[in-house]
Amino acid sequence: RRASRRPGPLARVRAGNMRKSLRSIASCASRVVARATPRASSTNASPRTLPRLTTRASAAAPRIALDARFCARGFASDASAPVSARTLSEALLEERAHESAAYEPSAAAASGPPEPFELHETDGDAEVTLTKTYGDDEEIAVTFVAQEEPYDDDMLDEDDFDEEEDGLDEELELEEDESIAIDFNVVVSKTDGSAHLDFDCVTDGEIIEIRHVSYEQYDENNPILGTAYSGPNFEDLEETVQDKFHDYLEVRGINSDLASYIVEAHLDKEQREYTNWLGNVSKFVADKKETE
């Protein structure tokens, strides 16, 4: 599936700037919501389910998620035991049990990547890689990191944050029909290791946007001693050239089917790593008498 023509360079630059601001605000909002909301009982707490992506007619830059199901997790709570009576380790284990019971991966995440991509991941490592070969002389690797973004200090200074905090409840309404944006990287390399193209991309699960393309060539006899040229701003390329780059990726399987899987797999991996994190930290902070 091909999306309609992308907006012009100026519109994409403006959309990119707006997206960066929204990414920072959304990151802050997710934590405020998760921590400010009173803990519900374990029977009423909503699981951290995967958002359903909406079909969009235009090919504008993917929007940042302000989806309550994506931003905030449900929390478990034992009404019979006072909060002060539980240790940190016990509270973490309770959260882990709740997350394990409430979460179920989507069918897309459970079925694996579109063929012939192969999935490579390791427990404890947030990086996920999908690989395949194309033709007789190309290898393709798609990589994303299933990690919630930290606060972006460059985007919000203290004054900006104070202003946003004052109007947070009014300005940041979480809408369930919003899509999300996942950054990922595509490397197309020659099997002889002589050179590769590196694509920085983002997707909302349907549309893929290329942000940057770099080229690297390996020459042992003439190594680059200074700073290698990383390529132009993608938005500054002529529109036809941009479209041809999208076509180049699409015939290599970087399409809407893969985009949908990346979003689902990203959320699934992050959820599994979060659950493991709860268990590992619980063991670390447990008192000696708790482990005996």
pLDDT of residue 218: 82
For residue 120, which amino acid is it? Answer: H
- Distance between CA 244 and CA 129 in Å, rounded? 25
Tens digits of per-residue pLDDT, 70-117? Answer: 445 555 655 555 666 789 999 999 999 999 999 999 999 999 999 999
Output DSSP code: residue 192. T
Instruction: Give the tokens for residue 163.
Output: 């202003």
Please give the mean pLDDT across all residues of the chain. 74
User: In sequence order, which residues have a C-beta less than 8 Å from that of residue 245 and are 6 or more positions away?
Assistant: 199, 210, 213, 234, 237
Residue 103 backbone dihedrals phi, psi, to 5 degrees: -90, 140
Beta bridge partners of 198: 187, 214
Tens digits of per-residue pLDDT, 120-159? Answer: 999 999 999 999 999 999 999 999 999 876 655 555 555 5
pLDDT of residue 44: 37
pLDDT of residue 151: 53
pLDDT band with cut points at 50, 70 and 90 for residue 245? very high
Asked if residue 260 has pLDDT above 60, the reply is yes
Higher pLDDT, 57 or 211: 211
Mean pLDDT of 3-11: 40
The segment with the largest mean pLDDT, out of 29-33, 170-174, 177-181, 263-267, is 263-267
User: In sequence order, which residues have a C-beta less than 8 Å from that of residue 186 and are 6 or more positions away?
Assistant: 140, 141, 142, 198, 199, 201, 249, 254
Tens digits of per-residue pLDDT, 163-217? Answer: 555 555 554 454 444 568 999 999 999 999 889 999 999 999 999 999 999 999 8
Q: Are 19 and 64 in contact (CB under 8 A)?
A: yes
Q: Are 12 and 64 in contact (CB under 8 A)?
A: no
